Structure 1
Amino acid sequence: MQIGCCWFDIKRTTLSNQQNDTSWKMPLVEFVVLELLVRFRDQVLSKEQLLQRLPEEHRTPAKLQEAIDRLRFFLGKQSAQLLETIDDQGFILHTRMKASINHTLSGPLAGMTKQKYGLLIAQILLLIIFMHSIFEPEKSIKPLNNHEITTSTGIVSYYPVPNEGASLADIEDLSSFFIQQLELCDTVLWDDVFVSFTHNETVSSIVLKRENAEGTEVRNVKGISSGASKDYIDQTWLKRTGICG
């Protein structure tokens, strides 16, 4: 009986690989499993059906799976794909190599069933959609201007960012005041400063970015005023929040 590149001799209980000229005198468990799969070729046999034919001392799922694995190993990488696992059902020995088995599930996915392969593809697609939803740029926030501030430690880039619903006129005065305070600092500890203000000047959201030996460091600072005043932004506050040194 031909099985891929192997010849199964039922009378001699041997399986011969015609590609590498090796012959295997099959142990009882492997022979019983293969003989039953050959008899019902192209039909799915449940694990229970196969287990019932095994000797009582070997009648365990682990022993059955071990026999399947050894059969696939001897059949070789190509022919082993004829012996397919059907999820939650059992095993089937195909007569011919199917294109979907030979190509779609080749390489690292050769041992994966069609159901699991389809689930993997679905999970990858969901992951792509999820990542896109997280990292898609926010369209409602755009830098207005890039100001370069010269300090004793170098040049700092400052980006005023309008909050949603705010206009340039709403934040111009507050942005200029923030720049003046930065210029008064002895040192600015960050390379880039992104600042967003609410139109009533009560809340400022600041994102700080710099490069160090470990890579890029990012920090977020939020300032809240008890009233509609920008006076809380001073040298003491800038040093306390770690923006200036």
Structure 2
Amino acid sequence: MILGTCQFDAHRAQLKNLTTGDEWLLPRAELQVLKLLLASRGSVVEKHKLGAADDEHPALTDSSVTRAVFMLRSFLGAEHEHLIETVKGRGYRLRCETRRRRDKWLTLTWGKPWLVLVILLPFIVLTALHFSENYAGNGPTAPLKTVALSLPSGQKLSLISYSKSKTNNESLLLLIEQLEMGFKQCISTSWQQVYLSLSHDKQVFNITMKGDKLGQSVIRNLKLSDFRQQKQFISQTWLDEVALCE
């Protein structure tokens, strides 16, 4: 079964990224959630059904189901994480989107130059606005803070944070310190640059990690949401699950 650029082997309980060659043996929660989503592909599956008990395992908690979905999306990558759709108040749905459909759409679109122009025009305008905002006058946006780390293996790592709003600088700086402590637990890591930002409302923490694995450049995007008043994006449990270290 192909999911984006990944291949799912149900018998081996494995997801393999066909682009990078990375393989992931799915834990019980991730395996159960993915199997049930595949079995009902295109339809909404309620959260309690995704976490239902079976003959060998107890039921999963709602938080375990949520975490399993997060980990599956992380492995699928930013380009394909949308395949697992959140249906608010109901559950999750695995989209029926396939590469063939996208290729067919591209073929039809590129056969009509006027349609291509209509589609690309908003992106051209947004790109021009972005260039004007970031490069005109004052030059590119400077990082809020850059932290250089040296791990016991001798590897160098940079944490680079950006902020467009002064209202969340204090919260972002605290998150940088927490993530810095997480990386300091590593002897080595695949990541070399980590880019951080916090949304204006302080409810979404964005992390982009760039590095090298087996001689290939890799990128991992994480988006953490916390709508509580007292927010806790980073915890030791989260650090263990995300596996920052090699």
- The structure number with the bigger radius of gyration is 1
State TM-score, norm by structure 2: 0.39
